[in-house]
Amino acid sequence: MLTVHGMKASGNCYKVQLLLELLGQPFRWNEIDTLAGETRTPQFLSKNANGKVPLLELADGRCLPESNAILCYLAEGSPFLPDDRWERAQALQWMFFEQYSHEPYVAVARYICKFLPADHARRADLDRLRERGYQALDVMERHLAAQPYFAGGRFTVADIALYAYTHAAADGGFDLARYAAIGQWLQRVSAQPRFVPQGA
């Protein structure tokens, strides 16, 4: 049985839960409270030296960190990871875009607004985070105005990766009402068979 070490409130962890549900694959969820330092214990660091969740643990004890690497691993051989070389490259392109140009702004703004005290010094970062986050949303909107999904014309791991924090962008103060194509794409994702919302 697969074990997912993760925190339900984390979009990166939700990616893994969502894919496993879509695949209909049984798994055990081990809730980790990162805010309480549970990713910095010697036991956790022995499984992932980088001290982050999600972490996928196979039945034989092998461990794989990095949400988007986990998605690719789990989706192998399923319709959610393209077989075609070019389409798979496009899925990866959008997953690297997500981790470099989207998550550090959209997810971090959400983290500051949702999990830190209202008078926390990091709120000073919000203007810059929102500026860069909107740039990422603009890039997504331009793509989705012409294509229903991010790679290969169909629902893939790239959509799961980008859905995780985009659907919750309002938590970080982003106004999604200005993005018509993103709004329709969010609906297409949540209409997938076996879809589960975050927190389920």
**Contact residues for a second copy, defined by CB under 8 A:** 49-50, 52, 62, 64-70, 72-73, 76, 85-86, 88-90, 92-93, 95-97, 99-101, 103-104, 139, 142-143
Quick check: 189 and 180 in contact, CB under 8 A? no
Output the smallest distance, CB 191 to a second copy, in A: 26
Between 100 and 115, CB nearer to a second copy = 100
Between 105 and 155, CB nearer to a second copy = 105
Between 5 and 52, CB nearer to a second copy = 52
- Give the total residue count for the chain: 200
Between 38 and 66, CB nearer to a second copy = 66
Q: What is the DSSP letter of 63?
A: E
Angle of CA points 114, 120, 122, to nearest 5°: 85
63-65 and 55-57 strand pairing: antiparallel
| Amino acid identity, position 130 | R
Q: Which residue's structure tokens are 């956790």?
A: 44
Output the smallest distance, CB 99 to a second copy, in A: 5
